[in-house]
Structures are given as structure tokens and as C-alpha cells.
Amino acid sequence: MRWEQPGKFNKKLNFLISFSDIANIIRQFRKSKKKMKRRNFIGTLTAGGTAVLSAPFSGLENNFETFIKNQEQDFDQSLHADAIVIGGGLGGFAATLALLRNNKTVILTEETDWIGGQLTQQGVPPDEHPWIENTGSTQSYRDFRNAIRDYYRQYYPLTEEASKNPFLNPGDGAVSRLCHEPKVALAILNNLLSPYISSGKLILLLNHKVSSAEINGDFIKSLTVKDLQNKKTRKLSATYFVDASELGDLLPLTGAEFVTGTESKSETGEIHAPEIAGPNNVQAFTACFAMDYVPGETHTIQKPADYDFWKNHVPDLNPPWPGKLLSLEYTHPSTLKPKLLGFNPTGASTGETLNLWNYRKIINKNNFKTGTYSGDITIVNWPQNDYMPGNLIGSEQDFSKHFKASKQLSLSLLYWLQTEAPRPDGGNGWPELRLRNDIMGTDDGLAKYPYVRESRRIKAMFTILEEHVGQENYDKVSGKTNKIAAPFYDSVGIGYYHIDLHPTCGGVNYVDFPSLRFQIPLGALLPVRLKNLLPANKNIGTTHITNGCYRLHPVEWSIGESVGSVIQFALQNKVTPHEIRAKTDLLKEFQDFIRSQGIETEWPEEDKLK
């Protein structure tokens, strides 16, 4: 049964129910001696033995709304599928899509009302490598990117030049070749899932969070999830379970072995690891927001409650931060020396310094016909709103406390930009900046969920170390200069990003250095003990160091797609993912299978890169 209710009962109710449920509703309805107008009961039977109901309450007689509310309490709360995917971020989505296209059934849960994770609910345009248009990701990820461009061409009034650009970048943001609005990505993701929801292959449970797990030895039997709107729970059972949550929520609930924070140099041998481990030393997270610039208007927000604190806050880091957090000076990630940033919402050049306005710009008004936009729109995910005083990995109370405080930091940054930020003309503040709550789909204008850079990580059959992917460390152990990272015999994907660790809640400043084009080993996706749990987010078998290059958009998608594929292959061949890795013939067959599905397992030679 699919029950997905976006709002109160005065809106349309859309759900999938079984024939027995329909019969029960009719029996109860007759007993209550109420009448239903035929034109408001629309049943479309599907091959899967389900009915799709779409019933606007405005046309129902008497108190049918109350009846449905009461009836909901009697619905069967147990659901079963081939796989349960917890978390609708890019990894969870890709795992789900891989399973569905291979005719498996999936229940996908998402804690918010938006799927898409860091790309949508967290408001972060894709961070990608320079070869992304042709290689270094799965084919489905590149198809998704092209679908975003086509969406703008079909529905937005682009200029002729922009419309004809095969590599259209709606925002022309500096961070990516494809900076776009979160809601456009959301539309594409929802469209890709719609046929499977309609056919009954997929049950999508939005606003649901996992609360407990039932375990039998080294296997998960079921999970219990809570509806965050009505507080009711339901049990989900499956053959396989995927933890695609942003913080690795399933790991403590299932008793999976996991680590958090920073490993010591003696544990991993990594040359950039600290001497002493720090389990609570986790990278900063960010409450992102969107804003535009409306010349001639004033949009200054009310002074945030914690503004005076954040205005004077100096991060306590080693090496030291150069001054107050709310300023245009920060620590350069790779040199660790003070560096000045620029800010000018007109988009004008700020000389040799980066204009933060252009960094994550998602709408460049010049790509659209005159009059479409009064100004550009940009996403604020900058050093100035990285939240360092606390850690999200812990209790729900800790999460709520620190997320709330991070929102105060972001609003304080906006207020500082509107009132105190230095202007090129010698003045202070840009009151023309407008908070765009519609971009994030929230009342407060801030992202629905914090942008998480680091979560719990499984103890895996194989752990990716700095010596495998870090340029300096790999050159050292291999005794030569390398352009591609260490090869993995069990590769199930590829990716690239430099090792980029933001300041931590443990007081460590940036750790940022070059990496090599790398592979994703199957062993890093397999827990050391549990046999039917796989990770599909930032919770794979990396270290604190290597997490820094495996956490970005296309890599998370690749991880998820490989996880969904290995589950499908395991179900088809009646083996476990661990057995696939352990048996040479099975592994080769699996790798051939995923390559046929558009998953690259090796980087092209240097001369073939475009």
C-alpha cells in the first residue's frame, strides 16, 4: 500500500490500496449509511492487483473525511518489498532506480518531503570533476544531468543562445558546469520514479524516519519507521536493506560495526591523519539558503536572535582562523593562510579574489529573456556559514539543537551581508538582497535539511585509505608518480574529487590536498558482519580523510547505483553480496552486468579523457 499525503485532508488524497482494502472501505461506508458520489470515486486497476484512488474531498457527502481518517487507523501497517531503502538522497535514489529498472520492488523512505538529498533538500548545486560530461560517472547520472538541461529548455524562457548551448549552465556558477534550482532536480527525480509508483513496484514514504530494527543474527528482519506527520509507525520487511540516510542512521539501530570522526595515524598509516584519534571530530555542516538581488528595493530581514553572538564569533581552530567568521577573510583550504574573498551581488569581478556571489549562482538572468528575472539567484554555502560548534551525529535532541543554531548562523550571515558587509563604493551592506524561501520550499528560507559532509561509516570488508587515493600518499607507497589511483580488483564504479575536509567541530582547520581519479571497491560497500545491509551515502568504508573525496554528488549516485545493482544480482543468483566479492567468476559476471547497465568501473586512459 502506498500512502502519501502532502497536506491536510482538504487536499487531494492519493494512495495505493489492495482490493481487500477497497472492499473494506465500501463495507464500512455502507454500514455508516453514507453515500459516495460516483464521480468522486475513481478506481484504476493495475496489473499488479492494486487500485489508484484520487478523491477530492470537496465532492464527498456528509462526513466522509472523518470516515477516511478513522479508516486509516485500521490500515495494515506492515509492508514488504525486495529491498528497503532508507533515505531518498542521491545514493538512495540511484539504488532504488537500479533495483526498479531490473524489476525488483522497493520501499523508499525519506525523512523530509523532498527526495534528492544534498542536491534538493540541502540546496547544494552539484560539485563535480572536469570530465563529468563524458566520463567519471554512471550513464544514468549523465542522463539525469541532461534531463535538467532539457527541463529548462522546455519550460523556461531561455535566450536563443542559451537554449542552443548543449552544455547549458542555468546559473553559470563557478562551482559546477550545471548550477540549477533544487526544485528542477526534484521534478526530474520525481518524474523518474512516477511510473514505478503507478505500477506498484515502488512505495514512497515521505516524511518517515526509521526508529528501530529487528535483527536475527547477522541479518536484519525488519525496520520500524515513524510517520513524522501523524506519529504513527509501520513495519517494513525485505530481503535487503540499504542505509542511504544522511547520517548513517541504520548503523547503530542494527548493531552494525561503525566508526565516526577521525582515525589516528597509527590506525591507518595515512600521512594526513592526526596522531590522536577523535571520534567526535566531524566536519562542519551548513544550513544553506538562496537569495537574489533586487536593485532599488529593501529586503533586510529582522535582526536574528543570535546575531550579536555570531557577529563577534571567532572560530577556535588549529591552525587559527584569521578573525571573525562573519567577514570576507577566511583560511585558504590548501595553504592555510589568510585569504580575502570578494562579494558583489551585481556579479561584477572583484579582481583576483573570488566573488562569492558567482560561486554557487543557480540563475544567471542573462540566460533568460529580458524581464524574466530582476536579478541573479545564488545559493549561500560558504565558509562563513559552516557550523563548527557541534556535531549532528548523536541524539535527536543534539541534531535539533545544532541544526537550529546553524540556521541562526546562516540568517546572521544574511543580515550581516544586508547591513554591514563592505561595498566596493566604500559603503556597508546590501539591503537589496532578498531571502528566497520559495527556492528551498520552506517558510524560513533555509534548506529543509542541513548539508552533511560526514556521517557514521561502516566497518567494511575493505577500507579505502589515503594511500589508495591521495596523490602524495599513493606516490609514496608506489614509488612513482601516478595519475590514476590504486586499482581495485572489485571495482564497481569510478569518481573523482580532491580530498576536501572542512573545519571540524573538534577544532581542526581545513585539510585539503590533491587526490587521483579513483575507483569504488565493492569491499567498501560490505559491512564486516551483517549480510543484508549495504550503505549508499557517506557511510561507506572510507576513513575521515578519504571521505573527503567520496562524498560529492556523482560519487554518491555511483555508490547507490552499484548498491542497487549488487542487490539485484544477489537476488537473481541467490547469493549474498559478500559471496559475489569472494568468488572470482561471480564477481566478473557482476562487473560485466553493471558495465552493461552503464556503470563505468575503470577510468579511460589519459589521452582519451575529454
Whether residue 299 lies inside any domain: the answer is yes
Whether 290 maps to a domain, the answer reads yes
What CATH number corresponds to the domain at position 72? 3.30.70
Say what the pLDDT of residue 51 is: 31
pLDDT confidence of residue 608: 81
Q: Which of 420, 440, 460 is the last residue of a domain?
A: 440
In this prediction, residue 353 carries a pLDDT of: 87
- Residue ending a domain, choose from 76, 104, 120: 76
Do 106 and 100 form a contact (C-beta atoms < 8 A)?
Answer: yes
3-state secondary structure of 224: strand
The pLDDT tens digits of the residues spanning 128-160 come to: 999 999 999 999 999 999 999 999 999 999 999
Which residues in the chain show pLDDT less than 50?
Answer: 1-27, 29-75
0.85 exceeded by the pTM?
Answer: yes
Whether residue 209 lies inside any domain: the answer is no
Say if 533 falls within a structural domain: no
What span, in angstroms and rounded, lies between the C-alpha atoms of 500 and 490? Answer: 25
Residue 71: the pLDDT is 38
Q: Which residues pair with 428 in a beta bridge?
A: 422
What's the half-sphere exposure (Cβ side, CA atoms, 13 Å) at 85?
33
Integer Cα distance of 210 and 92 in angstroms = 14
> Which one of 416, 440, 464 terminates a domain?
440
- 3-class state of residue 289 by DSSP: strand
Q: Which three cell numbers stand for residue 254?
A: 542494527
**pLDDT given for residue 523 in this prediction:** 98
* The residue to which cell 579511460 is assigned: 604
pLDDT of residue 13: 32
Quote the pLDDT of residue 348.
87
572-605 tens-digit pLDDT: 999 999 999 999 999 999 999 999 999 999 999 8
Q: Is residue 466 part of a domain?
A: no
Give me the pLDDT at residue 61, please.
35
Does some domain include residue 569? Answer: no
Q: What is the pLDDT of residue 42?
A: 29
- pLDDT, residue 17, reads 38
- The count of structural domains within the chain is 2
Whole-angstrom Cα distance, residue 330 to residue 93?
A: 35
Q: Answer for the pair 90, 64: CB distance below 8 angstroms, yes or no.
A: no
Domain of residue 405 covers 285-440
